[in-house]
Amino acid sequence: MFDNQSIQPDQILPEDQETDILEITAEPYPDKRRIKVLFRLSSFASAPNASITLTNEDNQLMVSANMVNIINPENEITLHLPKNKNQPGEYSVTLELFSLAEEETGAEDGPKVTLKQTNIKSSSCSFTLQ
């Protein structure tokens, strides 16, 4: 019997296999203030992290969010546009997967641990706000 019910035995991958972004979609809710972002990942051995950004047609950052230790291959997040920023136009959502690893460095006052970010994959999609 497999101990972790959220991961099936056929989903276990070798540690060195990369996680892929299989699908990403974004669509505004009817109120035009919230954006539903759905993304689907390939099976993974270690839980990735994600950075999700929403930019307007002038490539200005409108909102961003981070997800840490993603455990499910299928994910949904709602991004909220700032007040008075839900102008009609073309918008882009970018999903960047990354991993974090502790890195110990020597310092004069003793060892120091920092987090090293390694980018895994990136994908984006766009939608029109009317």
Q: Pick the closest to residue 70 from 5, 2, 3, 6 (CA basis).
A: 6
pTM: 0.82
Tokens found for residue 130 = 């009317």
Residue-level pLDDT at 29 = 97
Residue-level pLDDT at 76 = 98
Query: What kind of fold does domain 19-129 have according to CATH?
Result: Immunoglobulin-like (2.60.40)
Domain boundaries along the sequence of the chain = 19-129
Residue-level pLDDT at 85 = 82
Low-confidence ranges of the chain (pLDDT < 50): 1-4
25-56 residue pLDDT tens: 999 999 999 999 999 999 988 899 999 999 99
Residue-level pLDDT at 59 = 96
* Helices vs. strands in the chain: H and E counts, helices first: 0, 7
Residue-level pLDDT at 8 = 58
